[in-house]
Amino acid sequence: MTTSEIINEKRVDLLTVFKQLNRKWPLILVAVMLSANVFAQVQNAESRMNALGPENSSLLEMVGNWDVTETVWNSPTAPPVTNVKYVAERRMIGSILQEIMYDKGGSPLKDVERIDYLSFNRVEGRWKYVSMDARVPVGLMPAASFARGEKGKITIEFEPFSLPGTGIEVSGQMLRMDETITTLNADHIIKEQHFIFADGKAIPFLAHRYEYIRRK
C-alpha cells in the first residue's frame, strides 16, 4: 500500500469517527445535563435547608440590645423576687439567634451571666435551643419543641435536670422545665419558664419570667 493510500484510508476513518460523534452528541449532551441536574439537586437540598426560612427569618426581629426584668419564684408558694440589672445582647450567627445576658454595669465580653442559642431546624421541623447559666450549677441545658408551633409563640421542653438544693447538703432535686417565648411586638418579648419538681406532687408553677424591652 502506498503512502497516498494509507493517508486516504486514515481520512476515511476520521470522517467515520466524526459522523458517529455527531450522531451521538445530543445523547452525550443530555447525559451531561442530567448529571449536572442531579448534582445540583444534591447540593440544593443542603443549601435550601441551611437557608433561613420563614421561622429563622422571624428571629431577625429579635436582634439588638434589650433591657431585661427578671422575676423568680423558688417554689409554687414563694413570693416573687425581681431584679432589673441585666441587659441582653442578641445577634444572628447564620440561622442561629445568640443571646448574651450580662450586668448593666459590665461587659458582654467578660461579665456574661447567661447565654442561649435558638434556631428552627428545617429538616426536623422543630425549634432547637440550648442555654447555659453561670449563676447556677446545672451545666448545659438542651431543649426542643415538638413541632413548629404558632406565629409569635415558641414553646420548648428541656431535658430533665437537677438542682443542688438550698441546704448545706446536696439534695439533687430533679425537675422538668418548659419555656415559652412570646413576641408581643417588635420591642417587647416575654420568656417564661415553668418547673415541675420530682417530689411526688408534680405541681407545675411559673419559676422564671424574663421581660425584654428593646433599648432605644
List, for residues 61-89, the tens digit of each pLDDT value.
999 999 999 999 999 999 999 999 999 99
| pLDDT mean across residues, the chain | 86
Residue 6 has pLDDT above 50, yes or no: no
Provide the residue ranges of all domains of the chain, joining segments of one domain with +.
Answer: 3-50, 54-214
Q: What pTM was estimated for this model as a whole?
A: 0.77
Highest mean pLDDT among 31-35, 149-153, 203-207: 203-207
What's the grid cell of residue 49?
A: 435547608
> Residue 113 CA to chain centroid, in angstroms?
21
Residue 18 in this model has a pLDDT that exceeds 50: no
CATH assignment of 54-214, among 2.40.128.20, 3.10.580.10, 1.20.120.1460, 2.40.440.10: 2.40.128.20
Specify the pLDDT at position 204.
96
Beta strands in 31-187 (DSSP E): 64-72, 81-93, 96-103, 112-121, 126-133, 140-144, 153-158, 161-163, 173-185
Q: Do 129 and 117 contact (CB within 8 A), yes or no?
A: yes
Can you tell me the distance from the alpha carbon of 176 to that of 174, in angstroms, rounded to the nearest whole number? 7
Label residue 145 left, alpha or beta by phi (over 0 means left) and psi (-120 to 50 means alpha): beta
Range 192-198 average pLDDT:
96
- Predicted pLDDT at 86: 95
Measure CA of the first residue to CA of the last residue in the chain; give whole Å.
Answer: 96
Farthest-apart Cα atoms in the chain, separation: 112
pLDDT above 90 covers a percentage of the chain that reads: 65
